[in-house]
Amino acid sequence: MHDPDYSARVDRAKVDTARRTNTAMLVASLATCALLAVLLVLASTAGMGWFTIVIASIGVLACAVSAILAVRRRRALDLLVGRDDVALAVGADGVRLAGAPLIPWQQIVFVGVLDDRARTARVQRLPISGPLARATVRAGSPTMLCEVGVRDGAGLRRAFAGARGAERVTLFDEFDGTRRGLVPLMLDAVIDEATSHQAAQVLIREAERRGIPARSFDRVFAYFEWKGPMLDRKWPVEKGIPA
């Protein structure tokens, strides 16, 4: 890739904080899961009521899910941080994400951004779920998701040449002779908020300049309605949303 017209650099301090918080959440989830599992066994052997056993079982399941999510967040963070500290580069020849090969503009079928910051802020203000929501965001859960749809997802996977991160490309059924792919970039997980917003605007603007469908959404279902038909011909379309 030639010198990019725009690049967004990784916020190392933010990434380090996310890793520490994520590790703390993983340890806490595993410890709580183990404690609840012991209590569940004791409750079962002591013949305690079904209500106690059900509550303990739900707690074990919730802690196990939390631990799995923590592991997945850590892996996602590692894939989003490249060796050169560039999270996103946009140039005349295409787009490059950290640790990924160049995606030429002619291979891009759409650029979509899901801005979930307003909904996340509302959840963080709730009395019960708020502290957990704030912790998961500090641990690397994104509130702004950028996705690049590509014409040949299988070809992009092969372009990784065995490098880590090829699994980031989600493949769909055959579409015009190739399997389209979707590449996510969790912008504010590794970039400061102002830069992530700027990066999304630049990516959308540069895609639109080349006639590529590009939009930003703040509602999940509207976003899926828009992007779905460009990835899967069998996607159910009830109403048209202009590209």
> Which domain range does residue 104 map to?
86-231
The amino acid that residue 24 corresponds to is A
Domain assignment of residue 238, yes or no: no
Domain assignment of residue 147, yes or no: yes
Are 21 and 67 contained in the same domain?
yes
What percentage of the chain carries pLDDT values higher than 90? Answer: 25
* Cα angle 10, 183, 85; round to 5: 15
Q: Give the domain-ending residue among 32, 60, 80.
A: 80
Are 54 and 146 contained in the same domain?
no
Residue 106 has pLDDT above 50, yes or no: yes
Residue 239 has pLDDT above 50, yes or no: no
Domain assignment of residue 236, yes or no: no
Domain assignment of residue 169, yes or no: yes
Are 71 and 98 contained in the same domain?
no
Greater pLDDT, 111 or 42: 111
The string over 29-58, giving b where at least 16 C-beta atoms fall within 10 Å of a residue's C-beta and e elsewhere, is beebbeebbebbeebeeeeeeeeeeeebee
Are 154 and 214 contained in the same domain?
yes
Global pTM? 0.77
Are 204 and 165 contained in the same domain?
yes
Are 219 and 169 contained in the same domain?
yes
Torsion angle (degrees, nearest 10) of CA 221, 225, 230, 233: 120
Are 122 and 190 contained in the same domain?
yes
- Give the tens place of pLDDT for each residue, 1-22: 555 688 888 888 888 888 888 8
Q: Give the domain-ending residue among 65, 80, 95.
A: 80
- Give the tens place of pLDDT for each residue, 161-213: 766 778 788 899 888 888 999 988 888 888 888 888 899 999 999 999 999 99
Domain assignment of residue 143, yes or no: yes
pLDDT of 238 reads 47
Are 43 and 101 contained in the same domain?
no
- The total number of structural domains in the chain stands at 2
- Give the tens place of pLDDT for each residue, 38-79: 888 887 787 777 777 888 888 888 888 888 888 888 877 777
**Contact criterion met (CB below 8 Å) for 133 and 69:** no
Q: Which two tokens stand for residue 156?
A: 């992009």
Q: Give the domain-ending residue among 80, 98, 122.
A: 80
pLDDT of 17 reads 85
Sheet arrangement for strand 94-97: 6-9, 86-91, 94-97, 103-104
Domain assignment of residue 239, yes or no: no
Are 60 and 147 contained in the same domain?
no
Are 64 and 96 contained in the same domain?
no
Are 117 and 224 contained in the same domain?
yes
Residue keyed to tokens 């792919």: 181
Are 74 and 178 contained in the same domain?
no
Domain assignment of residue 242, yes or no: no
Domain assignment of residue 173, yes or no: yes
